[in-house]
Structures are given as structure tokens and as C-alpha cells.
Chains A and B, each alone.
Chain A
Amino acid sequence: MLTVENLKRLGMPAITLSLDAGACLAVMGPSGSGKTLLLRAIADLDPSEGVVAFNGQNKAEVPAPEWRRKIAYIAAEPGWWADTPSEHFRDWSTAQPLLEALLLPADIGNAPITRLSTGERQRLALIRSLAGNPKVLLLDEPTGPLDAASTQAVETLLNQRMKEGTAVLLSTHDAAQASRLADNTLKLANGAAEVVAA
């Protein structure tokens, strides 16, 4: 479904990979090895060389906003541009069922963003992206700031989406999480990249 051929940019080894519908590939490697750069390049948030295609269609042929609605990048520290969570959604009611699934309080919609914890913001950002029903999720450390219970809730939700056909590319420091969620692991280290079975 998603194919990456010889994707190159400064600070990251050349990367070739492919991801089927419903599959999950974990990206692992030390800080600075290029995990975030890879995810951002696939989302076309930074210039890069090489070919990235979704269902055979090169990203260069698709308008960038349309590309990113299908292939959603969620940053390790997601950004916000309004005062409350609900203002970041086209229709806040679509978020309601997911709030419960991710152990967030139902009345969080009108809380000031600045008063939420890092973990709450992280989960809200995931819900915000899922609201657009993307086909591929590019997750940068999605459970980094989360406790065990919330981490499990996020993984359950991701597994459910994968069963429905969403592909996931997941950057993580947690090898156990990689083996729980991913079929394969892409290891980035010392300027080289290799895919190994989880």
C-alpha cells in the first residue's frame, strides 16, 4: 500500500521499505538516527529525494494537503493552534467515543490546552488525526509520555484500526512495544537502515 524507494535527506540513511494495509512497521534506533526525519519526509513535511507512493501513486502527483489527509503524521510533541481541544476538531462529537477508549475525561473538550498534561495532549492529538480516517499513520513516539494503562489503551486502539486496514509506521524506543504491535522492525543506526523481522 505504501512504498518508499531510496528516500534520502540529510541526517538519515537512504531508506527503502513497503507497508501493506493493516501492517505495522516499527522504526527503532538511537536519538538522532533519523526516525523523526523519516516520518516527516514520508508525510512530505520536509523536502526529500526518492520516491514515496501510496497505492502506486507518487506523492509528487498528489496535492500535499490531500496526501497528508491519507498519510497522517503525528509528532512526538504535537502542536496546537487554539485554546481548547474541541476547537481543533471540525466536529468534536466524533471525538467523544475515542475519549473514553483512551481513558480521557469526557469533559476535556473545553479545558485550556495549556493545563493538560503531556500525555493527555498526546492522546488528543492521536484522536485529532484519527478523526480524518487516514489510511496510514506515521506515529512518532505515540506513547512516550504515557503511563502503562494509557499505553495499553492506545495500543488496543491502534490494533483495532490495523484490523480495519490502517497501516502504521511507528517510531519507538520500546522494543517490547515494537514486538507487541509490529510485524517487522526498521533499524536505523550509524547511517545504515535494515529491516528485521520482529
Chain B
Amino acid sequence: MSFITLDYFDLAMAATLVLVNAGLSLYLSLGLERRFLIAAVRMAVQLTLVGLVLKALFAVSSPLWTALAALFMILFAGREVMARQERRFVGWWGYGLGTSVMLTAALLVTVFGLSTQVRPDPWYDPRYAIPILGMILGNTMTGVALGLHTLTNDAARNRPGIEAQLALGMTRTEAMRNTTRGALRTALIPIINSMSATGLVALPGMMTGQILSGVDPIEAVKYQLLISFLIAGGTGLGALAAVQAGAWRLCDSRHRLRLDRLADPAP
């Protein structure tokens, strides 16, 4: 493979563009210059650290360390899902629900992809496992967060309609049907949109990266397709599990709507 390596002078030159942005913010008194610089420095530090971690992970190629890194990523994604909720489930459910469905969905799909399609040797080779899990997890996270957000907000807003159905003797599944359907649709639309726009509007980052590093475009496209299918699977699975589990938690065994299991909306 042939690719052009960058030295630090190249990076510094590109970074001057951030300084240009900061200068622009000063000139137009947007008040964004500090945040611009901090965000750029954060990015540089975070990515450098990730680079070092990945390098170490690839060097040892141990199943234990790879699993730990994967777990860390999933726990962090769970925190992100919780942070994106306006009305969270109280108690451990707030963090546990999103985290456990992502753990299941992302891990299942990643292992499926690794063990039957990509087939690196060993199958847990972190050079494949970690980036693929990362891409699946990033998208599953969006689906799960959107699904749960829509579910809980919609249940709170449509409480009279849901309770009217319960009062008429419908089961909780029937009474929640509109709400769960709406939440699933909202969770799945972004992945449909992104699949239909891919290639026309934007070239996916992974494919571009492979092309830059000298991979034949057709081979890069094949990889991208595989990843996109895995992402669609992970998002669908994760959103379905999250919305079903959330709807389950929103009602109890006496078919009551239990909005008291949600915290008050975050300010």
C-alpha cells in the first residue's frame, strides 16, 4: 500500500486555519474564539491519546485488552445516550437501559461481521474489531438515543390518549402502539436517509480513508457497503430493543402508564 505520510509541519499548517477562524470570531465579535481554540486543542489531545492507545492495543493484540477497550467504548456511549434524554428513567434504568441494549446490539453485530465476513485472524484482532465496533456503536447510539427520547416524550405528552385506551380495557401493548411505532420510525429514519444519500452527497469517511491510503476504490466500496449493512443492522436491533424495553418499563404488570418512573424533564 502506498500513502503519503504527514509530518508535524503539515499539521501545523492546516491548524493555522483554526487560528484564522478564531481571528474571524474576534474581528466579528462572535465570542467564539476561546471555544474554537479549546475545541481544537481537545480534539488534538483526544485523538493523539486514542492513537497511542490503539497502537498499544494493536501491538499486544490480547483478547482481554481488546474486550476492555470495547467495554469502555460501550459504557461511554451509554453515558452519551443518557445525556441526550430530556426525560430519563429514574434509578439505574436511566443509564442501564441504553447501555445494555447497545452492548447487546453493537456486540452482536460486530461479532457477526468479524466472525463470518471480515474474518481476521485471530477474529478479535483489535485492528479490525475496535474500528468496526466504533463505527457500529456510533450509529447505534444515535438510533437508541433518538428512539428513547421520542418514546418517553411522546408517552408524557400523549398520556391522556394512552390512559383513555387503558381505561377502555386495552392492554398496555395496544395502548402504547402509536407511541412505540412513532419512536421506532424516528430512530430508523436517519439511517435510511444516510444510506440513500451515501455516495451522491458525501463520500463516507471510512471509504475515503481507505482510498487515501492506496486501496483500490472498488475494494474500498465493498468494505464501506459491508460496514453500512452492519451499521443498519446494529441501529435497527438497538432501536427496537431500546424502544420495546422502554415501553415495557413505562407500563407495569397491571397495565398502568407509569410516568412516575421518568424523572422531570432536564432543564
A residues near B (Cβ < 8 Å) are 43-47, 63-66, 68-69, 72-75, 77-81, 125, 128-129, 132
Contacts and interface: CB of A to CB of B under 8 A. Distances in A.
Interface residues of B, number: 20
B171 to A, nearest CB: 5
B163 interface: yes
B129 to A, nearest CB: 45
Contacts of A80: 160-161, 164
B169 A45 contact: no
Q: Classify the interface of chain A: helix, strand, loop or mixed.
A: loop
A38 B170 CA distance: 21
A37 to B, nearest CB: 13
A79 B256 contact: no
Interface string B151-178: 0000000111111111111110000001
B255 interface: yes
B254 interface: yes
Contact of B166 (A68, A77, A78): A68
A65 B163 contact: no
A72 B168 CA distance: 7
Given A44-B254, A44-B256, A46-B256, A68 B169 contact: yes
A128 B161 CA distance: 13
Contacts of A65: 166, 169-171, 255
A69 B169 contact: yes
B255 A81 contact: no
A75 B160 contact: yes
A75 B255 CA distance: 17
A79 B159 contact: yes
B256 A75 contact: no
Nearest to B171: A65
Given A45-B256, A64-B255, A64-B256, A81 B168 contact: no
19 contacts: A44-B256, A47-B252, A63-B255, A65-B166, A65-B170, A65-B171, A68-B168, A69-B169, A74-B167, A77-B160, A78-B160, A79-B160, A79-B162, A79-B165, A80-B160, A81-B162, A81-B165, A125-B164, A129-B168
B178 to A, nearest CB: 6
Contacts of B168: 68-69, 72, 128-129, 132
Contact of B158 (A73, A74, A75, A81): A81
Nearest to B164: A79
A68 B167 contact: yes
Contacts of A73: 167
B255 A79 contact: no
A75 B163 contact: yes
Contacts of B161: 79-81
Given A64-B254, A65-B171, A45 B166 contact: yes
A125 B167 CA distance: 11
A114 to B, nearest CB: 13
B164 A66 contact: no
Contacts of A77: 160
